[in-house]
Amino acid sequence: MQALAELKEQIRQALPDLDVVIGWQQGYDALHTSPLFIRSEEDIDKLVVNEFCVVNPATYLREMRGGKKVGLVLKGCDSRSVIQLLQEKLLKEEDLTIFGFGCNGVLNHTKLQARFGDIGFITSLENDGTNVTVEAGDKKETVPFTELCADKCLTCSYPNTLQCSHFAGEESAKQADSATDKALEDFEKLTMEERFTFWQDQMRRCIRCYACRNACPMCVCKDHCLANSREPKWLSEDVDVQNNFMFQLIHVMHLTGRCVECGECERACPMDIPIMLLRRKMAGIVRDVFAYNAGTNAEETPPLMCFKVEEPTIEERH
Amino acid sequence: MSGSTGLLTEGQDLRIVGFLCNWCSYGGADTAGVARFEQPTDLRVIRVPCSGRIDPLFIARALLSGADGVLVSGCHPRDCHYAEGNFYARRRFEMLKQFLSVTGIDPERFHYTWVSASEGQRWQDVVTSFTERIRKLGPATKMAGGTGYDEECLKEIAAAVSLGDQCPCHKEKA
């Protein structure tokens, strides 16, 4: 990995001026990475960059505000959340150093698990970019990468880190496999009643652990989240379908025009509820109506923070 | 009031929530009332200072809580009492309107529009046509928890547990 060696070198040079650099390190097994906080020289060698680097390190920025000089190793999709936060003036550009690289997609553990049973059974996994060869127990299988990668990678149009201070290795030439979101299209073939029933079934499984909120890089309210507020009281403590559904709608509405579709919420969900369907739908509407892609240009104004007197793209409602 | 014009058809009561801004639409509804325009009675009005005050979550909450329809009305664009409240509101409502379909809530159950304080006639039209639309759609599907498939699963698990060692999953080890 040439990019990894370059990244490490760049971090080594930049580290004296930084309080911390956030990246990924090898996790508890070969198929997982965990977040790495580089504070000293010897930590640098722990850095890994591979198809298991699913976590968005930008999520930790929320805890790092307040003058700390932070370095971040970011995939293309992760960098969008930083740009969006910069745009909302929640971060200062001079406090950040971003180390970029070309990402070729990450794997989805839920898909691996669905295909090969428990992830613990997988003894080896080889990824050549187009095919993944997995050995689990006594069977060996080669599966196209697109069947095991995260959903966001299928429609990804930003494989290279945006607005980075340092870029390592070659740019990724990865193309989106399809311009449209197939899962969402399939879902929208259902009737209204079927969709409503589907969500009720899903929300019934929700345990409201708030992992989706806590993993979200854009959820910056921390202790002031509407979901925990008693005055006004939006949600009861009951974990029932209605409250769970309302919580998801709060999350979606608060991310309108801000969601960068990094997919962290769905990945963090312990119940594997496909909540990205809701977020992708909303991001698609924002794209259609305001021609706005969240987190791609720090100079733009978020679409719900501004208006036009005549809205050419909004139908007049009589 | 008698149902002579056919506006007030009998049948089940619908629960329609209306959010009206204080300066235009609430005045418009008042004008309609003072002029004794006949209106359907299914609408429950909540008066807000400005359409910009209406969080789209108010609407989502009403719909999830079993409202059959939500009608939002504010000052016409350019006529906002606070100059620009309804411009922001328009963007938010449009987002919600287009989003609702993916949740399985019929977007037709939500309507937003603009009525000024002098437009009593227009208010009558708006509220009548919206109520008729909701009446055609019928009462909203109530939140029931879906198909309850997980309860079936739990029953199956309980049945398997009660089998103890006789359960097929024990066979391999035996």
The predicted pLDDT at position B7 comes to 47
Q: Which of B102, B109, B112, B151 to mutate to test the interface with A (most CBs of A within 10 A)?
A: B102
Across chain A, mean pLDDT equals: 91
Q: Is the pLDDT of residue A2 over 90?
A: no
Smallest CA-to-CA distance from A160 within A217, A48, A78 is with: A78
Query: CA–CA separation, A31 vs A298, rounded Å?
Result: 34
Beta strand ranges found along chain A (DSSP E): 20-26, 33-38, 70-74, 96-101, 122-127, 131-136, 139-144, 166-168
Nearest-by-CA chain A residue for B145: A200
H helix count then E strand count, chain A: 11, 8
Q: Which two tokens stand for residue A228?
A: 């925990």
The predicted pLDDT at position B3 comes to 38
**Closest residue to B104, CB basis, from A196, A240, A246:** A196
- Let me know the angle formed at the C-alpha of B147 by B62 and B65, rounded to the nearest 5 degrees: 10
Proportion of chain B above pLDDT 90, given as a percent: 71
Task: Please report, for chain B, the start and end positions of each structural domain, with discontinuous segments joined by +.
Answer: 16-137, 147-174
Core vs surface per residue A219-242: b (16+ CB within 10 A) or e? bbeeeebbbeeeeeebbeeeeebb
| B118 at A interface, C-beta within 8 A | no
Which of A113-117, A183-187, B23-27, B57-61 is least confident? Answer: A113-117
**Closest residue to A309, CB basis, from B61, B77, B99:** B77
Q: Is the pLDDT of residue B5 over 70?
A: no
**Interface contact flag, B57 A234, Cβ < 8 Å:** yes
The predicted pLDDT at position B4 comes to 38
Q: Does A232 sit behind a cis peptide bond, omega within 30 degrees of 0 on the bond before it?
A: yes
Smallest CA-to-CA distance from A105 within A56, A43, A153 is with: A153
80-99 in B: which are within 8 Å (CB) of A?
84, 87-88, 90-92, 94-96, 98-99
- Position B57 confidence tier, pLDDT thresholds 50, 70, 90: very high
**Interface contact flag, A188 B101, Cβ < 8 Å:** yes
The predicted pLDDT at position B18 comes to 97
- Position B1 confidence tier, pLDDT thresholds 50, 70, 90: very low
The predicted pLDDT at position B11 comes to 60
Do the Cβ atoms of B74 and B80 come closer than 8 Å? yes
Which structural domains are found in chain A, ordered by start?
1-105+157-177 (no CATH), 109-148 (3.10.450.750), 180-318 (no CATH)
34-73 in B: which are within 8 Å (CB) of A?
55-57, 60-61, 64-65
CATH class of the domain defined by B16-137: alpha beta
Q: Which of B50, B78, B84, B99 to mutate to test the interface with A (most CBs of A within 10 A)?
A: B99
| B129 at A interface, C-beta within 8 A | no
So what's the ipTM on this one? 0.91
Q: How far is B164 from chain A (nearest CA, A)?
A: 24
Do the Cβ atoms of B78 and B49 come closer than 8 Å? no
Q: Which two tokens stand for residue A230?
A: 């008693």
Kindly report the number of other CB atoms within 10 A of residue B113's CB atom.
Answer: 20
**Interface contact flag, B90 A307, Cβ < 8 Å:** yes
H or E stretch at B113: strand B110-114
Length of chain A: 318
Q: Is the pLDDT of residue B2 over 70?
A: no
Phi, psi values for residue B110, rounded to 5°: -120, 130
**Interface contact flag, B143 A200, Cβ < 8 Å:** yes
